[in-house]
């Protein structure tokens, strides 16, 4: 009884009580606290890629998210097909990936789609709108969201096999000219253009293609999770909810019936 009252008092003050574990907390950033091994952070090729991402954008503390992004890209690089990212901003994750894979040597194209001026209010759902649009205005003003494509073009000028497509998704989706997509990253912080993009690209995703959803597990992006879950159900696939907050989906390989 007393224990419960103390717990309630502490929790109403904004703190949480955690049972002491014997294991030491090894990682605590970006909404993820755990006691697991993260020795990918010591891998020189990870460090080089991460540093390139930071050079494009900012010194984000998103190491595990980037690790998943690099894994996804590395896995997809073994498949036929191009890479697409919808929601690029300054190019943090995509720069890290291109560095990691020595991009031009892959022979693939990387399509980068963004308004490069924040969210498009026409493509934000009603339940997302008040918070998203208020933040959007703030983030464009304070530079957290890029405004203008010029600096982005300079950042990616290091690579030849890249196509920057400026404008609103879904209107710009038709400008992606590809025979197949091996990697699709959706990170637009709102659901309608993400659902439209996944629907639009579904048939172009090669068997085994990786789809990474940056915002899937973040509580404030619950509308995106609901929308993506509904679409996944339609497509008869399941999204893995990762502890990093990302969602991961694999386009099922073709089912060949053996007679």
Residues that bind ligand SAM in the complex, under the rule CB under 6 A: 57, 87-89, 92-93, 113-115, 118-120, 123, 145-146, 168-169, 187-190, 193
- Residue 79 or residue 112: which is nearer to ligand SAM going by CB? 112
Q: Quick one: tokens of 51?
A: 């540093």
CB of 93 to ligand SAM, least distance (A): 3
CB 156 within 8 A of CB 95: yes
CB of 159 to ligand SAM, least distance (A): 16
CA dihedral 225, 91, 88, 230 (to 10 degrees): -20
- Residue 11 or residue 134: which is nearer to ligand SAM going by CB? 134
Parallel, antiparallel or unpaired: strands 205-213 and 181-186: parallel
- Residue 80 or residue 137: which is nearer to ligand SAM going by CB? 137
CB of 114 to ligand SAM, least distance (A): 4
Measured in Å, how far apart are the chain's first and last C-alpha atoms? 66
φ, ψ of residue 4 to 5 degrees: the values are -65, -40
- Give the residue among 57, 120, 46 at the shortest CA–CA distance from 89: 57
Separation of alpha carbons 63 and 211, rounded Å: 19
Q: Quick one: tokens of 237?
A: 């696939």
Separation of alpha carbons 64 and 21, rounded Å: 22
- Residue 16 or residue 126: which is nearer to ligand SAM going by CB? 126
- Residue 24 or residue 150: which is nearer to ligand SAM going by CB? 150
Separation of alpha carbons 194 and 227, rounded Å: 9
CB of 168 to ligand SAM, least distance (A): 4
DSSP 3-state assignment of 12? helix
CB of 188 to ligand SAM, least distance (A): 4
CB of 242 to ligand SAM, least distance (A): 16
Q: How many CB atoms lie within 10 A of CB 194?
A: 27
- Residue 189 or residue 224: which is nearer to ligand SAM going by CB? 189
């Amino acid at each position: 009884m007393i224990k419960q009252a103390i717990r309630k008092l502490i929790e109403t003050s904004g703190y949480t009580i955690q049972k002491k574990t014997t294991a030491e907390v090894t990682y605590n950033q970006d909404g993820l606290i755990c006691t697991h091994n993260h020795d990918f952070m010591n891998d020189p090729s990870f460090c080089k890629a991460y540093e390139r991402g930071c050079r494009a954008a900012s010194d984000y503390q998103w190491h595990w998210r980037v690790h998943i992004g690099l894994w996804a890209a590395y896995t997809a690089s073994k498949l036929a097909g191009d890479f697409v990212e919808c929601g690029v901003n300054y190019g943090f994750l995509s720069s890290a990936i291109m560095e990691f894979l020595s991009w031009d040597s892959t022979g693939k194209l990387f399509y980068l789609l963004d308004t490069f001026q924040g969210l498009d209010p026409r493509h934000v759902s009603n339940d997302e709108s008040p918070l998203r649009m208020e933040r959007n205005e703030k983030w464009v003003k304070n530079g957290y969201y890029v405004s203008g494509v010029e600096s982005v073009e300079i950042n990616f000028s290091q690579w030849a096999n890249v196509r920057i497509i400026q404008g609103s998704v879904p209107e710009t989706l038709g400008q992606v000219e590809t025979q197949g997509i091996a990697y699709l990253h959706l990170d637009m912080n709102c659901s309608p253009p993400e659902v439209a993009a996944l629907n639009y690209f579904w048939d172009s995703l090669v068997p085994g293609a990786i789809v990474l959803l940056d915002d899937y597990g973040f509580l404030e992006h619950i509308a995106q999770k609901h929308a993506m879950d509904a679409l996944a159900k339609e497509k008869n696939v399941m999204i893995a909810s990762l502890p990093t907050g990302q969602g991961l989906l694999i386009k099922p390989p073709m089912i060949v019936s053996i007679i």
